[in-house]
Amino acid sequence: MHYAEGKAAGEDVRRLIIMSKKLMQFMTIMAAIAIVLGSWLWLSYGISGSWLYVKLACVAMLIVYHIFCWQYVRKMDAGNFALSGKYFRYFN
């Protein structure tokens, strides 16, 4: 959002690219740890109850969202990024 609006206003957005890359790296590490520990708990206790399927669906949606975020960061870094700030208000 800030990147798209800043770039449209002609501001320097290089710092935002660096910050977004570092945030995505940190988030990826934390997500990997959470998935490993969650899988360990799941395999330890087994499948019981329908709540687990809902939870696994939510985890899958978060993984897809994370992949989309990585793609947007790569596009920002490459400089070929044409989405508006309004789009990212809805995306977030």
- pLDDT, residue 92, reads 81
- pLDDT above 80: residue 81: no
Per-residue pLDDT for 8 more than 70?
no
What residues have CB less than 8 Å from 92, skipping those under 6 apart? 1
What tens digit of pLDDT does each residue of 33-75 get? 999 998 888 888 777 777 778 888 899 999 999 999 899 888 8
Indicate the pTM of the whole model.
0.78
Residue with the bigger pLDDT between 1 and 7: it is 7
Question: Who's near 21: CB < 8 A, 6+ residues apart?
Answer: 73, 77
What pLDDT does 36 receive? 93
CB 88 within 8 A of CB 1: yes
